[in-house]
Amino acid sequence: MKYKRILLKLSGESLQGPQKYGISTEVLDSYARQIKEALQTGVQIGIVIGGGNIFRGLQGARKGFDRVKGDQMGMLATIINSLALQSALEDNDVKAKVLTSIRMEPIGEYYSKAKALEYLEAGYVVIIGGGTSNPYFTTDSASALRGIEIEADVMLKGTRVNGIYTADPEKDPTAVKFDEITFEEVYQRNLKIMDMTAFTLCRENGLQVIVFDMDTPGNLGKVLAGEQIGTLVKL
């Protein structure tokens, strides 16, 4: 097994599937099955999910919402997604706990590093909702922060594309995929992998990142087995 403990970042937008809004039960079930298979290899799994399938604070601000209120609405969206994933995992006979960065018992237990590690060591999938609990921070930043806190070996960023390219492959057919790239090269090329706060947190704390396509069943297991899937961002 290549990794003992991982932080898996899932895109909220990916959860919506082809319907372009809300939560697709088919996508949820696919994710839950992949996570179950990964857990059976012995790896400990922490998860942070975005909320873009329901609400984005920045987009809300552009439409006239107060930015702080908009971000708080986005935090609640991540908790809705966290509960949905917990339910899908439990339907697949996987033990899962939702920890929230904002107090809201009994919906989820209040997050702490100690609590997260306790559940991870006990074999639970730990889903951390609510972002950082502060406005102006993305769920990518929350993922980096939680990954560092729980001492994950790697942050796996599950997306709709199969890695990092020289340009957006959905817009530029000549874009070339990287198998590996350093943090410094990402800075120099100004590649948009995640927001700069998240990226800098990972770099300064030595948390490597793998960007891969989570929507293809089996890819999570391949990444954990050390296969060349996606793009590794290394020091």
Answer yes or no: is 65 a known binding residue: no
d(CA 230, CA 213): 7
Answer yes or no: is 25 a known binding residue: no
Answer yes or no: is 168 a known binding residue: yes
Residue 173 has which token pair?
């057919």
Q: Residue 148 contacts by C-beta under 8 Å, 6 or more apart in sequence? A: 201, 202, 205, 207
Provide the residue type at 200 as one letter: T
Answer yes or no: is 4 a known binding residue: no
Phi and psi dihedrals of 141, rounded to 5?
Answer: -65, -40
Answer yes or no: is 135 a known binding residue: yes
Answer yes or no: is 14 a known binding residue: no
Answer yes or no: is 11 a known binding residue: yes
Reply yes or no: is the peptide bond before residue 135 cis, omega within 30 of 0: no
Answer yes or no: is 78 a known binding residue: no
Answer yes or no: is 187 a known binding residue: no
Answer yes or no: is 10 a known binding residue: yes
d(CA 49, CA 81): 7
DSSP state of 108: B
* Annotated binding-site members for UMP: 51, 71, 132-139
* Annotated binding-site members: 9-12, 51-52, 56, 71, 132-139, 159, 165, 168
* Annotated binding-site members for ATP: 9-12, 52, 56, 159, 165, 168
